[in-house]
Amino acid sequence: MSVLADQFTAHTFVDAFRFIGDNASLMLSKTGQTCELAFAALGIALALALPLGLWLGHRHRGLFLALGVSTLGRALPIIVLIAFGLTVLGVGFWNNTAALVVLGIPPILTNAYFAVDGADRDAVEAARGMGLTERQVLLRIELPLGLPLIVAGVRISAVFVIASATIAAIAGGGGLGDIIVNQASYGLAGVIAGSLCVSAVALLTALALGLVHRAVSRSTTARA
């Protein structure tokens, strides 16, 4: 029984890799679609959440908002968001993008807030004392000091958005999710192949942002 199961498992993964090889162009275009959807949403989330988080953190205001948004972001299931979106907006790219943006905002907003809010108060005070304007204080002192935390937030957000972009396939989002939720058309090998590809996308993105995090952490500690 267990031998059978093992063989079955091994075969499945061998088949999955064969599937990727046989359908290279399909996999590539699907991966491209997933990336397009996820990174577009991440970009919009970044553009909205980063300035807001930085500004609130700089003013040391909106702690409640920052905390509430992060809890709400965790509590909102992507499926529910997409289903809501479908009932309101119907099938489409923008429905999915909107849902992903909503999910991508919280980690960025919250981390940006705490990064700036928690920047060394003595350094900030000294900068003000030296005559830096508020804008300069934020951009030259608080932002560099808080950069590791901000990048960590972007990383969490990216992982979250990629996972959600995959699920968005149920609302016609396209991409690798299409294959994963459609065993009838692609077979188990296809489903596993799609899962492997999207995992690779998520892991590579996390790895890249992890390296950025490391680099900025090192430079802030070296400066400190």
Partner 1 sequence: MIPVLGGSGPVIPSFGSGSSCEQNNGWWCTDWLREHWGDTLQPALVQHIELVAIAIAAGFLIASVLAIAGFRYRLLDVPVGGFADFLYTIPSIALFQLLVPFTGLTVLTVEIALTSYTLFVLYRNMVAGLRGVPEDALEAARGMGLTRVQTFFRVELPLASPAVLAGLRIATVSTVSIATVAAFVVPKGLGEPIFIGLDQNLFKTEILAAGGLAILLALAADVALAWFARAVTPWSRA
DSSP secondary structure letters along the chain: -HHHHHHHHHHHHHHHHHHHHHTHHHHHHHHHHHHHHHHHHHHHHHHHHHHHHHHHHHHT--HHHHHHHHHHHHHS-HHHHHHHHHHHH-SSHHHHHHHHHHHHHHHHHHHHHHHHHTS-HHHHHHHHHTT--HHHIIIIIIHHHHHHHHHHHHHHHHHHHHHHHHHGGGGT--SHHHHHT-HHHHHHHHHHHHHHHHHHHHHHHHHHHHHHHHHHHHHHHHH-
Q: Which stretch binds partner 1 (CB under 8 A): 47-55, 105-113, 128-136, 162-170?
A: 162-170
- Is residue 43 part of the contact set for partner 1 (CB under 8 A)? no
Q: Please report how close the Cβ of residue 63 comes to partner 1 at its closest, in angstroms.
A: 15
Q: Pick from 100, 108, 154, 171 the residue near partner 1 by CB under 8 A.
A: 171
Q: Does residue 8 bind partner 1 (CB under 8 A)?
A: yes
Residue whose CB is less far from partner 1, 83 or 139: 83
- Out of 24, 28, 63, 80, which residue is the one contacting partner 1 (CB under 8 A)? 80
- CB 217 → partner 1: shortest distance, Å? 15
Among 44, 170, 187, 217, binds partner 1 (CB under 8 A): 170
Query: Any contact of residue 192 with partner 1 (CB under 8 A)?
Result: yes
Catalog residues that contact partner 1 under the rule CB under 8 A. Answer: 5, 8-9, 12-13, 71-72, 74-80, 83-84, 86-87, 91, 159, 162-163, 166-167, 169-172, 174, 177-178, 180-182, 185, 188, 191-192, 194-196, 198-199, 202-203, 206
